[in-house]
Structure 1
């Protein structure tokens, strides 16, 4: 019998807002998704956006390969090549970043509008959003 085909359980949408690249990821950010998304996200990083906003609010599952993909993007934009902001409002995902020691390495906000106007240096999480959840 042939191999079973697995349909993607994720989606990616890219748009530009005032010279900012906004990428919305949704669904499961697991090994399969990360493997398939790496080339697309590498190409985005090669274009050297001044600000890359990764909207993860619709991500329903995030595992270590998804975290590795986020770190890869962060590293590719390091050294002043561009600013990376994560839009993240799921307390489970925020806790995962905190438990893995990664929350302080990303600039995290809770909505795209804040990300598009953010001027603080990378690595400062917006912890005020955790208080009311």
Structure 2
């Protein structure tokens, strides 16, 4: 088993990104739990603004156990509970199939770029001047 978790630096309102590579099996559960808890804490609303979103980038993950999927699903529910969101980035059938079989619901994006685009606020309408 080999995996790494890196968290992108976060600034107010920018999403926190966890990048996971390799296999998430039973032995990865403690570190995944700790990493998602740390990342969730970083998404909490501050005096400066609303809560940031959390992105779990699993595009380089080759296996994810049911236990690790449950950790991610719990993080998804916790993020929603404090007004944030967790987006799961994957297009891997090896991950999508177990998610479907387990009846889990995630916000999914096929690439990190798609996830970041989805999280951008909609453009403000142009103001028209009235004379």
Superposed displacement of residue 93, structure 1: 1.1
* Runs of 4+ with deviation above 4 angstroms: none
Shift of the alpha carbon at 1:17?
Answer: 6.7
- 1:78 aligns to what? 80
Q: Which has the higher strand share?
A: 1
Asked whether the equivalents of residues 32 and 68 of structure 2 are also in contact (C-alpha less than 8 Å), the reply is no
1:91 aligns with 2:93: yes
CA distance in 2, matches of 1:92, 1:28: 11
Q: Deviations over 1:75-121 (max 9, x none)?
A: 2212243111010011121111111111xx210010011101115xx
The Cα shift of 1:20 comes to 1.3
- Extract unaligned runs of 5+ from structure 1: 1-7, 120-133
Number of aligned residue pairs: give it: 110
CA drift of 1:16 comes to 3.7
Equivalent residue in structure 2 for 1:22, among 8, 17, 25:
17
User: Unaligned 5+ residue runs, structure 2?
Assistant: 45-50, 120-131
Counterpart mapping for 1:1-133 below 5 A: 9-16=2-9, 19-47=14-42, 48=44, 49-102=51-104, 105-118=105-118
- The root-mean-square deviation of aligned C-alpha atoms, in Å, is 1.8
Rg larger in structure = 2
Contact 2:5 2:21 in 1 (8 A): yes
What TM-score comes out, normalization by structure 1 length? 0.74
Alignment TM-score, normalising by the size of structure 2: 0.75
